[in-house]
Amino acid sequence: MRERKKNIIWVDPFDLMAILKPERTRLVQYLRKKRRVFFSELMSEMQRTPVSLNNDLKILSKYQLVRIFKEPNPGHGVHKVIESTLDNEKIEFKAEI
């Protein structure tokens, strides 16, 4: 049986607790399935406020679990796009105190 690829990510102990909060864990799982989503769609699907979602994305981006960028939305400005950087690989977090 072939073992799934594993990503080991070293994190600050304080950040580890923040990343493992249920709403962030749920967000990572959602993004792994979707792969790429607009911020407005993500906000609606996760039933989150822009501030809380931005806070979550900020810490996930810090550890390169997501990639955030803007792309043109012809006639309507720009879209904020969120992409997962991981497929179905295992994620192992390590912290040192």
Across 84-96, average pLDDT: 81
- CATH number for the domain harbouring residue 39: 1.10.10.10
Sign of the C-alpha dihedral computed for residues 15, 44, 72 and 85 taken in this order: positive
Instruction: Say whether pLDDT at 3 is over 60.
Output: no
Whether 56 is in a domain gets the answer: yes
Whether 51 is in a domain gets the answer: yes
Tell me, yes or no, if the pTM score tops 0.85.
Answer: no
CA distance 57 to 54: 5
Under a CB-based contact definition with an 8 Å cutoff, are residues 56 and 24 in contact? Answer: yes
Which residues span the domain enclosing 46? 12-85
- Taking only the tens place, the pLDDT of each residue in 6-35 is 678 888 888 888 888 889 889 988 988 888
